[in-house]
Structure 1
Amino acid sequence: MADFFALQFISSRGNEYFCEIDEEYLTDRFNLTGLNTEVQYYQYALDLVTDVFDLDCDDDMRETIEKSARHLYGLVHARYIVTTRGLAKMLDKYKKNDFGKCPRVMCKSQPLLPMGQSDNPNIKAVKLYCSKCEDIYNPKSSRHAAIDGAYFGTSFHNILFQVYPALMPAKSYERYSPRIYGFKVHAPAALIRWQNGQRDDMRRRLRHLKVDSGFVEDDKEDLDTEYEEDFEPENVTNGPVPGGPVNGMA
């Protein structure tokens, strides 16, 4: 019943990030709780999404309802993709690189995931999250860059890796070091050394607390500086260096 609208929607240019929502999910009113206040002409929009729309209206009204139907589909989509079925469909798209690959060279073409920076619509456009460098990027296509981030939500990408932990890539300790004729550039090199020192210190503290930092080299490197037994983690402070980032991480 709801196949026609959904298939037409996800096959439209610019909607490649979306997956098809199951008919049973769309027709269960519990899954739509609260959306009637978010969508103009909610009932007409829902009828259109579920392919039971039969209102005889002019072109302008039809266009307005279609716009509301697309908005409704996006809001329901954010809820659907954190369900078991929705996660499985998005996982399939993730494995096929439907969302693109990380542009950072050191991430070696790690697949990306769409994410929102707000769960409220009309706040922020969709971004792409890399689970390897844990950074976010703008979509390359202007069509994708115009998608509302609320259609994917702020939690989807984290929930996916909690449900499928084997997909979480090992963090890379490798970083680019700027050079001129083979020699490291002094100022950036000094900053990088300081940042690496801060990172090593963090890893030692995590090791002391028996917390896995997730870095690939943790099992290979010998971080031989150990903390004393009376070490209190909450009393440790790291002052910034001139020109360095506040949190000490790159």
Structure 2
Amino acid sequence: MSSSEEVSWISWFCGLRGNEFFCEVDEDYINDKFNLTGLNEQVPHYRQALDMILDLEADDDLEENPNQSALVEQAAEMLYGLIHSRYILTSRGIGQMLEKFQSGDFGHCARVYCESQPMLPIGLSDLPGEAMVKMYCPRCMDVYTPRASRHNHTDGAYFGTGFPHMVFMVHPDYRPHRPTSRFVPRLYGFKIHPLAYQIQLQAAASNKQSSSLRTLTYNNGKR
């Protein structure tokens, strides 16, 4: 296979099963040191991980030490994820993610009244290791766990907490209208009051407390 036909590390990584939510970050973006400010303090083996992402020659030590090589591979995945979270806030990155959004690559909302609205990935924390990626529905404006279990191991920090909001701020025409219908619980045709269950629980707790007081009074009277 010629060098021109070789798959880059970035293409290989984004093509892995479970990494479908990632887009391919432009190498020009990664080569701009300004865009990577502060990441060297967050990612171990930073220099080696960056070289791996950019397909630069690996150190001889890595080839001779499989354990070290595995650590650098993990660091490269973490570094790429953190770079990715910054890149998708740029106009180029938003454009790439919008293409995936329009194709339904991120899945569709399961809520009936959202009518299979396409979703976007979102993180619940910007710090790695705190929460896995979730799916944000712009119609009901709520978050959901990805349907496919293979996405349950993708760190949410690699997408960030503000990505969907940046998309619709830059491209407001893509923001869907809120649902006009909502589910109304009914019993025998009658609407159930929103506080019915809370009132029922309070009544049950009150009855339990009254029963305990009667039992205590009865026992004290027998003494």
Give the deviation of 1:13 after TM superposition: 0.3
- What is the TM-score normalised by the length of structure 2? 0.81
Distance, in Å, in 2 between the alignment partners of 1:84 and 1:125 is 25
Distance, in Å, in 1 between the alignment partners of 2:174 and 2:186 is 34
Distance, in Å, in 2 between the alignment partners of 1:173 and 1:128 is 22
1:167 aligns with 2:171: no
**Match runs of 1:90-239 below 5 Å:** 90-180=97-187, 183-184=189-190, 186=191, 189-191=192-194
Distance, in Å, in 1 between the alignment partners of 2:105 and 2:111 is 17
Name the amino acid aligned to 1:168.
R
Distance, in Å, in 2 between the alignment partners of 1:108 and 1:54 is 49
Q: Deviations over 1:171-227 (max 9, x none)?
A: 12311123345x13x5xx2118x9xxxxxxxxxxxxxxxxxxxxxxxxxxxxxxxxx
SS at match of 1:190: coil
**Match runs of 1:14-53 below 5 Å:** 14-53=18-57
**Alignment partner, residue 87 of structure 1:** 94
| Structure 2 unaligned regions, length at least 5 | 201-223
SS at match of 1:76: helix
Distance, in Å, in 2 between the alignment partners of 1:140 and 1:167 is 23
Name the amino acid aligned to 2:194.
L
- What is the TM-score normalised by the length of structure 1? 0.73
Q: Deviations over 1:45-89 (max 9, x none)?
A: 000001103212221111110110010000000000000100000
RMSD: 2.0
| Structure 1 unaligned regions, length at least 5 | 195-240, 244-250
Distance, in Å, in 1 between the alignment partners of 2:134 and 2:22 is 14
SS at match of 2:105: coil
Distance, in Å, in 2 between the alignment partners of 1:173 and 1:87 is 28
SS at match of 2:176: coil
SS at match of 1:191: coil
Higher helix proportion, which one?
A: 2
**Is the Cα–Cα contact under 8 Å of residues 45 and 68 in structure 1 kept in the other structure?**
yes
Which of residues 3, 14, 39 is equivalent to 1:10? Answer: 14
Aligned length: 192
SS at match of 1:114: strand
**Alignment partner, residue 215 of structure 2:** none
Higher relative contact order (CA 8 A, sep 6+): 2
